[in-house]
Amino acid sequence: MYIQVLENLQRDGKNVISSELLARTCDVNPSQIRKDLAYFGEFGVRGVGYYVQDLITSIKQALGVDRVWKCALVGVGNLGRALLNHREFRLRGFHIVGAFDCDPFKIGEVVSGLEVVCSRRLKERTADLGIELGVITTPPERAQRACNYLVDAGIKGILNFAPARIEVPEGVTVEYVDFFHHFYAVAFNVTLGSQD
C-alpha cells in the first residue's frame, strides 16, 4: 500500500511527505507509519519529512520488487485476458511473458502480443522464458491442475485468482485474490452503516 501511495504522490510531483500526510493518505495513524518505515531503515528528516523516491526505493528493495519478475499466466479466459492487457503489471516490474491454456480453441491465439501455448508445455517453456512466478485465472475446477503444471515447472510463487483453494508442496508460496471478499466487506460496512 505504501509503494502505491508513494508512487501516486510522486506522479503528482510530491518529492517530500510528512508522516502525518502519508498516514492520512494510507488511512493509518502517524506513529504506525513511523514504526513501519523504521523496519526498512532510517528515513526522514525531522521537521522536513520523508523523501518520496528514497522511500519507494528502500521499500521495493526490502520487498524484493526492485527488479523484474517474469510471470506465466494459466487460464486465458475473460479474467486472464484482462490481466494480460493490464499495463500496470509491467510498470510495476511484473512481466507476464507466457500465456497458457488447455482449451484447444485458445491455443495458438495471440493475446496482448503473447501466443497462447498448451498448459502441458509450461515446464519446457519456463526455462526459455525465465519464468519465476505463476498466475492462475482458470475456473475453480481447473485451478489445482494449473497449479500442478506451475509447480512441476519449478515455480515457487503463485498468485491464484481462481475461487478455489489449491495444494502446494512446502517451499511454494500461494497468494489468493478473492474479489468476493471485498464485495462482502463493502456490503457488511454498508449494512452496518444503515443500522445506525
Which one has a higher pLDDT value, 151 or 52?
A: 151
79 annotated ligand binder: yes
b/e 166-175 (16+ beta carbons within 10 angstroms → b): bebeeebebe
Establish how many alpha carbons lie within 13 A of residue 6's alpha carbon, considering only the half-sphere containing its beta carbon: 22
Query: What pTM, to 2 d.p., does this model score?
Result: 0.81
CB atoms within 10 A of CB 15: 12
Lowest-pLDDT choice from 22-36, 40-54, 73-87, 105-119: 40-54
Residue 62 clears pLDDT 90, i.e. is over it: no
Cβ contact 55:43 at 8 Å = yes
Quote the CA–CA distance of 102 and 24 in Å, as a whole number.
46
154 among the known binding-site residues?
no
Q: Find out whether 21 is annotated in a ligand binding site.
A: no
Is 78 flagged in the annotation as binding?
yes
Segment 136-176, tens digit of pLDDT: 999 999 999 999 999 999 999 999 999 999 999 999 999 99
Query: Binding site annotation covers 13?
Result: no
Whether 80 has a binding-site annotation, put simply, is yes
Handedness of CA 87, 88, 92, 94 (dihedral sign): negative
Res. 38: pLDDT tops 80: no
pLDDT tens, residue by residue, 173-191: 999 998 888 899 899 989 9
From the candidate CATH numbers 3.40.50.150, 3.10.20.30, 3.40.50.720, 3.40.50.1980, the one assigned to the domain spanning 69-180: 3.40.50.720
CA atoms of 175 and 167, how far apart (whole Å): 12
Separation CA 167–CA 44 (nearest Å)? 43
Domain segments of the chain as ranges: 2-63, 69-180
**What CATH code would you report for 2-63?**
1.10.10.10
